[in-house]
Amino acid sequence: MNKTVAVIGHGMVGHRFVETLRARDTAGQWRVVVFGEESDAAYDRVGLSGYVGPWDRGALALPGSRYPDDATVELHVNQRVVDIDRTMRVVRTGDGLEVHYDALVLATGSRAFVPPVPGCDSPGCHVYRTLDDLDAIRADAERALVSAGDRPPVGIVVGGGLLGLEAANALRLLGLRPHVVEVNPRLMPHQVDAGGGEHLARMIGDLGIDISLSSGVTSIEPADVGIRATLADGTTVGAALLVFAAGIRPRDELARDCGLALADRGGVLTGTDCVTSDPDVYAIGEVAAVQGRCYGLVAPGYSTAEVVVDRILGGDAVFPGADTSTKLKLLGVDVASFGDALSSTPGALDVVVSDPIGGVYAKLVLSDDASTLLGGVLVGDASAYGLLRPLVGSTLPGDPVSLISPSGEAPALGVGALGDDAQICSCNHVTKGQLCAAIADGACDVAALKSCTGAGTACGSCVPLLSQILAEEGVEQSTALCEHFAQSRAELFESVRASGIRTFSGIVERFGSGTGCDICKPTVASILASIGSGHILDGEQASLQDSNDHFLANIQRNGTYSVVPRVPGGDITPEHLILIGEVAKDFGLYTKITGGQRIDMFGATVDQLPLIWRRLVDGGMESGHAYGKSLRTVKSCVGSDWCRYGQQDSVRMAIDLELRYRGLRSPHKIKMGVSGCARECAEARGKDVGVIATEQGWNLYVGGNGGMTPRHAQLLAGDLDDATLVSYIDRYLMYYIRTADRLQRTAAWMESLDGGVDRVKAVVIDDVLGLAADFEADMARHVEDYECEWKGVLDDPEKLRRFVTFVNAPGVPDPTVSFGESHGRRVPVLLGSPSLPPLAAATI
């Protein structure tokens, strides 16, 4: 007869225990009964903040967490266990259910710590722990927004650690102005040092979040709206709500009540075998005090679950210790720490690179002889984390400074620097050697490696290293667009173009699988736009777009949008200048001349966009597509009309090119330039397509760009007449659009082609593919079918319904948007930045 293991708690670790037991119990020795206190089965609590916005509980559910096809697992959700009878080996729930067990696993996790502050149980006080907690916070936030005045309501967060900063971001997304109160002198005190904390505080403060360090809340009392909190320095802060995120405490009350031994600082005391003081009872996850210490991270929790599975199946596994390294993005800021991040090892040496202007802080902690890596902290740029963390305890492969600030001839750090014993996946304890062995056994892609080793299936931070190891082992990498499409972008482009299917649902049904993701949806949207399938906000296409394309405008740091009308070639009439000035003045927008010879108007709220577009469209202007992966601008000098050096009419050519290629959707943005002579005032050789006048005609350059990795464009052909120039550009752009990878600039695309610029010349000029006429015909169709996207919205009442600040409260202005003045310039006042002087009638 099967034995029964009862599991109290159905969080991530409890679910991991059940999954692991079912996979390893091949003899079918154990029946599993699981009790979950929440109404939801196990979900991704690490990703709890991802619930804010979509509000979709199912999206966080862990795969298989309800065990629908496993008759040996009995799951009870919304069932709180209230008693453990260790003598009779029975657990009882509040609903009267009794279950006999042969082994009992406590996976009760932890609860949010609420400091004993007077008034801590007042209405409006919350914790940040469960989906229900977030629903309650949302309800209070929405009530506060309805009655808000000009400034957004404040939301106080008690705690400046990992959870506190996540809670602050959630409040920010809900439209509140977060105020973080941390008792320590720096944020994330357990993960980053003083220098890293200073950088982190500055960067988060720049996002409009108030921060009170070395402080605390001493009392809370109800107010007319929300609550009023008094801080340690006597300051009183009125707020819509308050969230306690000041740490966690193990849920050990059941263990205490049934007489199990507890650790001095709480938690169920176990040895490295995870056995409690009762040999039939085990503890795993956050409630387990292994040798007296509790761990609040999922990776050590998974380790304890696997130890207990091994033990009840007759093994002798022991807890291997905990990797407390962390890597995450908080409020858009990368933060990582690993090993001895706080330099606690005697004699340890610190190597620090600090760039407050660039927003980057990196520290390596080394042994006293500077040869061994002990730990580190990364703030602002955590890209080196995946390779540095496995090196902890190993001899450094090079100069320490070069590892965190590569310069000169210092070798780049790669997976080749890691030994076979380097732990690539800390969540599941997978080494490089294990991964290499799996590759040798036939695991030929990331999905296969994840499946057979478990690497990358928890937090996912090691997934980029899996691809690198595959490449190092000589495995050719898949060109699949994503898990839903096995084709590359170029292959999918041709399939869509040939099939005539013009909806994402039809495309994924015909050529892919599943429901799509954040990679393939905007890629398909771009493909559909490139081949001309109507307005980008028509039907299904609207839901596929990236954030800027959703509203045909560029979202800015304070949640407002900028509006950029087209100014072909930088050529503008006085009437259009006056129109832009009047619109900016009437709507209170800040104006800025861009590097592409246009005028950008900043500070529009989403509901104002159609009103602004109407004024511009009625005045003869149109969308400048500053928001799209498409042609942005064609920059020009004044050319032969005015300049004494000008050899050709660069302004006319720039206007012609911009009007020809406006709205042309592509894998990435495209910029062009036309210079009237070799003096190059339009900087054409720094553009995707550059045209420079000669005495005989035009030189055509391709594949340049500015940005983080500037590229000089390369000469494609010289001394071209107007018609040949345009035909070559048509062919070049269509060749790029059909064959480039997603989000690949023209420079990178050309570098990826076998033969580089010579290959481009062969296709564009020599027509070796026989597609020149096809390319030109496609471009001709684009020119003929072009319509202004702003006008397309204005003429369609259904599309206009998208442009409201709050879907459930049309006409209500965004209370989070306000402006001030800095050095005579209109600037956004970010949440929590009251130091700027306000503008008269500045709040929209």
Query: Would you list which residues are annotated within the binding site for [4Fe-4S] cluster?
Result: 637, 643, 677, 681
Q: CA–CA separation, 64 vs 19, rounded Å?
A: 9
Pairing between β-strand 103-106 and β-strand 281-283 as defined by DSSP bridges: parallel
Distant-in-sequence, close-in-space partners of 699: CB < 8 Å, separation ≥ 6: 691, 692, 693, 715, 717, 718, 719, 720
Residue numbers belonging to the annotated binding site for siroheme:
681
Q: Judge whether 551 and 609 are in contact, CB under 8 Å.
A: yes
Q: CA–CA separation, 810 vs 134, rounded Å?
A: 24
Q: Can you give the three-state secondary structure of 394-442, one letter per residue?
A: CECCCCHHHHHCCCCCCCCCCHHHCCCCCEEECCCCEEHHHHHHHHHCC
Q: CA–CA separation, 223 vs 240, rounded Å?
A: 9
Distant-in-sequence, close-in-space partners of 349: CB < 8 Å, separation ≥ 6: 365, 366, 367, 368, 370
Q: CA–CA separation, 568 vs 596, rounded Å?
A: 10
How far is CA 776 from each of CA 652, 783, 787, rounded to the nearest angstrom?
A: 21, 11, 19
The crossing angle, in degrees rounded to 10, of helices 489-499 and 520-530 is 50
- 8-state DSSP, 664: -
Residue 427 carries which side chain, given as an amino acid letter? C
Q: Provide DSSP, 446-468.
A: HHHHHHHH-TTSSS-TTHHHHHH
Q: CA–CA separation, 177 vs 832, rounded Å?
A: 6
Q: Judge whether 159 and 244 are in contact, CB under 8 Å.
A: yes
- 8-state DSSP, 476: P
Residue numbers belonging to the annotated binding site:
637, 643, 677, 681
C-alpha closest to that of 556 among 250, 168, 830, 316: 830
C-alpha closest to that of 828 among 157, 206, 332, 169: 206
Q: What are the E-state strand segments in 53-153?
A: 73-76, 81-85, 90-93, 98-100, 103-106, 110-112, 125-127
The torsion angle over the Cα atoms of residues 74, 78, 83 and 88, rounded to 10 degrees, is: -10
Q: How many residues does the chain have?
A: 844
Encode burial over 777-813: b for 16+ CB neighbours within 10 A, e otherwise: ebbeebeeebebbbbbbbeeeebeebbebbeeeeeeb
Q: CA–CA separation, 288 vs 274, rounded Å?
A: 7
Q: CA–CA separation, 263 vs 256, rounded Å?
A: 11
Q: What are the E-state strand segments in 767-829?
A: 819-822, 825-828
How far is CA 273 from each of CA 107, 311, 360, rounded to the nearest angstrom?
A: 15, 8, 42
Q: Can you give the three-state secondary structure of 68-79, one letter per residue?
A: CCCCCEEEECCC
Q: Please tell me whether residue 723 adopts helix, strand or coil conformation.
A: helix
Q: CA–CA separation, 700 vs 692, rounded Å?
A: 7
Residue 34 pairs with which residues in a beta bridge? Answer: 7, 75
The crossing angle, in degrees rounded to 10, of helices 650-661 and 722-739 is 40
Residue 31 pairs with which residues in a beta bridge? Answer: 4
Q: Can you give the three-state secondary structure of 203-258, one letter per residue?
A: HHHHCCCEEECCCCEEEEEECCCCEEEEECCCCEEEECEEEECCCEEECCHHHHHC
Q: CA–CA separation, 778 vs 88, rounded Å?
A: 79
Q: CA–CA separation, 419 vs 391, rounded Å?
A: 9
